[in-house]
Amino acid sequence: MFKKISLIILFILVLLTVIYLIFWKDEPGQNQSPSTNEEAQNTDEGENSEETYTIDEIFSKAKDGMIIDTPFVAGQTEKNEVIEAFGEPKQLDRTTVADYANYPNKDVTIGYQNSIIVDLRSYHEKLQKIHYEQILDSLGEPQEVKYYQDQDYDQIILIYKVNEAFQLKWVLDKPTDDKPNPNVHHISVVAMKTREENKETDVTEQLEHMSLDEKLGQLIFAGVSGTELSDEEKQLIHDYKVGGIIFNIHNITSPSQTVNYINQLKAENTDNIPLFFGIDQEGGRVAKIPGDLKALPTNLEIGEINNSDFSFEYGNILGKLVRSFGFNVNFAPVLDINSNPNNPVIGDRSFGNNPDLVSKLGIQTMKGIQDENIIPTIKHFPGHGDTSVDSHLELPVVNKTLEELEALELIPFENAINEGADMVMIAHILLPKLDEKFPSSMSKVVITELLREKLGFSGVVITDDMTMEAITDHYDIVDASVESIKAGTDIIMVAHHYENIIKVISSLKTAVEAGEISEERIDESVTRILKLKRKYKIDNSSVHEVDIHELNQQIENVLNKYMN
């Protein structure tokens, strides 16, 4: 009997416990886990007390072209720096104003023009605690007010000029009677000028302080005669202030000699505008970099593999080689189409006989070179692939109309220009159906009307060597150089003989002084040259010893990846 009573009591206790727990759970505010009401209340209180951005902080950052919690600067930071820090964007919106990269995980949108940030936008939730009237109370009336409306938004934009360089924009819902004091939707810090535009201003100021002799020197890419600094090179630097120096095979004996020679020239040029140092490093049979380096394949072999990634990495190798020795200009890649099998000068220097193939691989090679901060030079405009003679020895003649050139030869050049080509080399070719009198390197029709105006090239135009027999057998080098500058060329290459260089510079000066060439025309070219030197941060700093083993390892890694 006692046992039964005990069981009944135990059952009642269990039942009461269950009922008690049910009522405890159902009663609000009782025995809740950290994910329920008590924590929600604490979280709300935490959010309400959490420090927010202040208007003064935002305005102060905007003075430096920045937004809070983001390391980039409008008008200065480049796209590749953003990608390195934030990765590829989740979405890219292309507009007529800029390309906008969206990073929702960072609460940031970034606008680019020509790969430079021009607009930094923050959508951070802390901004939403700032309201319309607070902005006006703190900053006063904006310099400008704009409105934006679409199917999703009806917004007001308050624009404040924080300084000469930057604007700060506050974007909010448009105030209404029902909601007169809306909160901020996002802010935008906009660069009034990009770094490139600031450089252009700097270039203009630099140009104003240059003498005519200094300007004319920048128009010359000079060859040197020896393997070490001589009195002739000192005169080219100090008396004529040449803008660039090309190394030919007779200037190169070993890696250490080449580096020492370049360092000597740079040291001698310390007080002048930094020099271009150029070399032909195409790969294949045109590879002038010295040392016991692993052989590089020809462009034709690369064309047969037809892999864009290979071409980019190959261009990267070319850039590394050139940079390691102290050069900053590579006269490559070749964009000629090998359409004439009897062509004696192009052949395996071309990627092939198909314009699309040459475009694709040539552009990737160009970008690979640029990736190493080396200036690539696309050549030989308007196309040397359908010639039957070598312009080193004779003047080639191509009897093609503009329409025929547009259907073949011009395609890779136009595509490369659209993809950011910096320098174009003009060939010595006579195209009588375009210009009966002058070859392309002296032709205003080819350089100004075709290359600049029709194809839209705004970079630096350089001639092929004016001491080649295509020129010297038919023209006086002095007259040819003057005609070339008049036609729109920026840089005359005189790759051989000190006397030729001096004569060309003197003839250009005489032409300017006589009014045959205006100084404004000279300024156009010098401006393009200085901008390019600034873009690639060309300077007179010395070069360190070359590690041939490391270069060979990098070459081998790339070739093994794609050719084995």
- Per residue in 129-177, pLDDT (tens digit) is 999 999 999 999 999 999 999 889 999 999 999 998 999 999 999 999 9
Cis ω on the peptide bond leading into residue 344 (within 30° of 0)? no
Q: Is residue 362 part of a domain?
A: no
Q: Is residue 146 part of a domain?
A: yes
Of the candidates 351, 324, 312, 166, which has an alpha carbon nearest to the alpha carbon of residue 259? 324
| pLDDT reported for residue 46 | 38
- Looking at the fold, whether 127 and 265 belong to one and the same domain comes out as no
Taking 70 as the threshold, does the pLDDT of residue 36 lie above it? Answer: no
| pLDDT reported for residue 39 | 37
- Looking at the fold, whether 277 and 416 belong to one and the same domain comes out as yes
Q: Is residue 507 part of a domain?
A: yes
- Looking at the fold, whether 385 and 287 belong to one and the same domain comes out as yes
Query: Of 177, 193, 209, at which residue does a domain stop?
Result: 193
- Looking at the fold, whether 492 and 388 belong to one and the same domain comes out as yes
- Looking at the fold, whether 144 and 254 belong to one and the same domain comes out as no
Q: Is residue 12 part of a domain?
A: no
Enumerate the active-site residues: 392, 464
Q: Would you give the distance in Å from CA 204 to the centre of its chain?
A: 21
Question: CB within 8 A of 43, min separation 6: which ones?
Answer: none
- Looking at the fold, whether 223 and 110 belong to one and the same domain comes out as no
Of the candidates 195, 203, 202, 193, which has an alpha carbon nearest to the alpha carbon of residue 524? 203
Q: Is residue 24 part of a domain?
A: no
Q: Is residue 319 part of a domain?
A: no
Tell me, what CATH number does 350's domain have? 3.20.20.300
What is the 3-state composition of the chain as percent helix, strand, coil, each rounded to the nearest 5?
45, 15, 40
- Looking at the fold, whether 152 and 262 belong to one and the same domain comes out as no
pLDDT band at 250 (very low <50, low <70, confident <90, very high): very high
* Single-letter code of the amino acid located at 134: Q
Tokens, residue 392? 């080193």
- Looking at the fold, whether 261 and 347 belong to one and the same domain comes out as yes
- Looking at the fold, whether 150 and 234 belong to one and the same domain comes out as no
| pLDDT reported for residue 389 | 57
Q: Is residue 271 part of a domain?
A: yes
Question: CB within 8 A of 422, min separation 6: which ones?
Answer: 370, 375, 376, 377, 459, 460, 532, 535, 536
pTM of the predicted protein model:
0.69
Taking 50 as the threshold, does the pLDDT of residue 542 lie above it? Answer: yes
Taking 70 as the threshold, does the pLDDT of residue 328 lie above it? Answer: yes
pLDDT band at 97 (very low <50, low <70, confident <90, very high): confident
pLDDT band at 200 (very low <50, low <70, confident <90, very high): low
- Looking at the fold, whether 120 and 269 belong to one and the same domain comes out as no
HSE-up (13 A, CA, CB side) for residue 475: 23
| pLDDT reported for residue 10 | 58
- Looking at the fold, whether 148 and 287 belong to one and the same domain comes out as no
Domain around 67: 55-193
- Looking at the fold, whether 271 and 392 belong to one and the same domain comes out as yes
Question: CB within 8 A of 444, min separation 6: which ones?
Answer: 435, 438, 486, 487, 488
Of the candidates 504, 497, 347, 528, which has an alpha carbon nearest to the alpha carbon of residue 424? 528
Q: Is residue 508 part of a domain?
A: yes
Split into its structural domains, the chain has a count of 2
Q: What is the mean pLDDT of residues 533-553?
A: 93
